[in-house]
Amino acid sequence: MKDEVGFAVVGCGVIGRTHADQAVSCEGAYLAAVVDEAPERAQAFARRYGVPGYSNLEEVLQREDIDVVTVATPSGAHGDVAMRAARAGKHVIVEKPIEVTLEKANAMIAVCRENGVKLCVVSQHRFDPSTIAVKRHIDEGRFGKMLLGEATVHWYRSQAYYDSGDWRGTWKLDGGGALMNQSIHTIDLLQHLMGPVERIYAHAGTFNHERIEVEDAAVAVLRFRGGGIGTIVGTTLAYPGLSARVEVFGESGTAVIDGDRLTHLYVRSQEATGGSSYGDQAAVNKATTVGEVGSAAADPSAVSGGGHAAQFIDMIQAIREDREPLVNGAEGKKPLAIILGIYESARTGREVHLPL
Ligand SMILES: NC(=O)c1ccc[n+]([C@@H]2O[C@H](COP(=O)([O-])OP(=O)(O)OC[C@H]3O[C@@H](n4cnc5c(N)ncnc54)[C@H](O)[C@@H]3O)[C@@H](O)[C@H]2O)c1
């Protein structure tokens, strides 16, 4: 294995910039090429980063100095790029959602496995210090059984945002709306902390946008396989946009992550079994506040690079150690399956059982 891992970024748009920035700044990585089907976009990135720009993916895939292809194209174009890269022997980092159907997601996972390359799906908030802290407490048993979990994404996207790209707000290329594009991070954190979802009942619709095919608001009621219940509320009609929240409650602990910050973390100590009927303040661990991050509540380009950096570093280490990246294809499929289940329930009016 050579000292540094060569990256090619495919898709020179909003998040492609974060990918290119990470490939430039992550230790052990270098940016080798940028690709966009629109030549002027590829060239603009090429000038900005001082690397060759391509509009033909095949030319890049032939380059032996490229080890990892990152896929930052519209969501419904992830699979095609990822599978072509995998067949050329390149490892793949793909943006969320992994793809817009389970069939394509499964095909990507299979092609990467058959070609012996690693597949990493971006879910950068799993790497936030707040998420890592809560997950550790849950995994170490301090919350007991997980009973109730809520994911709330009251975000705002204007009609102009949807009009800014012809793929935005379409079923074919965005794969959905407020849930598939914006709320997927928070939904992923909910299932990461609460465990797998077993049953879903949902409503969804387009309430305050004119030229989009997909939902701008959805609500879902969940039952988790571990026995707990929960809700998901995801919207892009909440002007001007509030911070996304994940709230989880176990037998002996509560955590709230608001706008990526851990605002409440309460774990009942072993001695304090009684407590007052209004809560046991003696057993409350002081709430911890962790670093500020950019807010995407109203501004889609305000994605802090921190989580992406952690995922890029994890992928580089996974390649070096020949292990799976922390968010591999199977992990990346989990929030997709929940969202597709919500859409199916909203469409049919029936409760949907997972796996689909
Ligand atoms: N992780 C996050 O926080 C985050 C944030 C924003 C977007 N995203 C995801 O990133 C993806 C891209 O979103 P965006 O907002 O950057 O989109 P964008 O429209 O700004 O950029 C997409 C780029 O891909 C190019 N493109 C389209 N099809 C292509 C193909 N087949 N081959 C090469 N280039 C192609 C387009 O010309 C465009 O330049 C989406 O899947 C989105 O869900 C993730």
- Write the CATH number for 134: 3.30.360.10
Q: By alpha-carbon position, which residue is closest to atom 34 of ligand 1?
A: 36
CA-CA distance, 213 to 177, in Å (whole number)?
Answer: 8
What does the pLDDT read at residue 298? 76
Q: State both tokens at 78.
A: 């992830």
Q: Report pLDDT for 288.
A: 40
The total number of structural domains that make up the chain: 2
> From ligand 1's centre to the CA of 186, what distance in Å?
20
Q: Which domain holds residue 188?
A: 126-299+336-353
Instruction: Say what the pLDDT of residue 150 is.
Output: 98
Specify whether 175 is located in the same domain as 294: yes
Residues 21, 150, single domain; the answer is: no
Are 113 and 142 in the same domain?
Answer: no
Q: Kindly state whether residue 331 falls inside one of the protein's structural domains.
A: no
Same-domain pairing of 113 and 218: no
In terms of domains, do 108 and 141 share one?
no
DSSP state of 276: B
Helix, strand, coil share of the chain (percent; to 5): 35, 25, 40
Q: What residues are in contact with ligand 1 under a 6 Å CB criterion?
A: 10-16, 35-38, 41, 72-75, 77, 81, 95-96, 122, 124, 165, 181, 303
Spatial strand order of the sheet with 245-250 comes to 261-267, 253-258, 245-250, 146-154, 229-235, 217-224, 197-205, 352-353
Q: Is residue 312 part of a domain?
A: no
For position 74, which CATH number holds? 3.40.50.720
Q: What is the pLDDT of residue 307?
A: 87
Tell me how long the chain is.
356
The pLDDT value recorded for residue 153 is 98
Give the pLDDT of residue 301.
73
Give the Å distance between the CA of 93 and the centre of ligand 1: 13
How far is ligand 1, taken at its centre, from the CA of residue 306, in Å?
19
- Which residue is associated with the tokens 């892009």? 236
Distance from Cα 74 to the centre of ligand 1, integer Å = 4
Do 100 and 148 lie in one domain? The reply is no
Query: Is 329 part of any domain?
Result: no
Using alpha carbons only, give the angle 303, 14, 192 rounded to the nearest 5 degrees.
Answer: 45
At which of 63, 86, 117 does a domain end? 117
Cα separation, 345 vs 126, whole angstroms: 27
Report the C-alpha gap between 257 and 244 in whole angstroms. Answer: 8
Contact partners, residue 347, CB within 8 Å, separation at least 6: none
pLDDT at 305: 67
For residue 321, tell me if it sits in a domain. no
Which pair of tokens denotes residue 150? Answer: 């809520």
**Can you give the pLDDT at residue 289?**
38
- Closest residue to atom 32 of ligand 1, CA basis: 37
Strand order in the sheet with 68-71: 53-54, 29-35, 5-10, 68-71, 91-94, 119-121
- How far, in Å, from the CA of 164 to the mean position of ligand 1? 12
Q: Mark the ranges of the chain whose per-residue pLDDT is less than 70.
A: 1, 270-295, 303-305
Tell me the three-class secondary structure of 79-126, residue by residue.
Answer: HHHHHHHHHCCCEEEECCCCCCCHHHHHHHHHHHHHCCCCEEECCHHH
**Which among 89, 117, 145 is the end of a domain?**
117
- Domain termination residue (choose one: 69, 93, 117): 117
In this structure, the answer to whether residues 170 and 276 fall within a common structural domain is: yes
In the numeric block, the tokens 């059982």 are attached to 353
Ligand 1 atom at minimal distance to the Cα of residue 78: 41
Give the pLDDT score at 38: 98
70 and 135 in a single domain? The answer is: no
Say yes or no: 29 and 163 in one domain: no
Residue 258 alpha carbon to ligand 1 centre in Å: 26
Tell if the pTM clears 0.85, that is, is over it.
yes
- Write the CA distances from 327 to 96, 192, 258, 315, 332, integer angstroms: 11, 11, 22, 9, 6
**Continuous segment of H or E residues that includes residue 305:** none
Please choose, from the candidates 270, 106, 246, 249, the residue with its C-alpha nearest in 3D space to the C-alpha of residue 184. 246
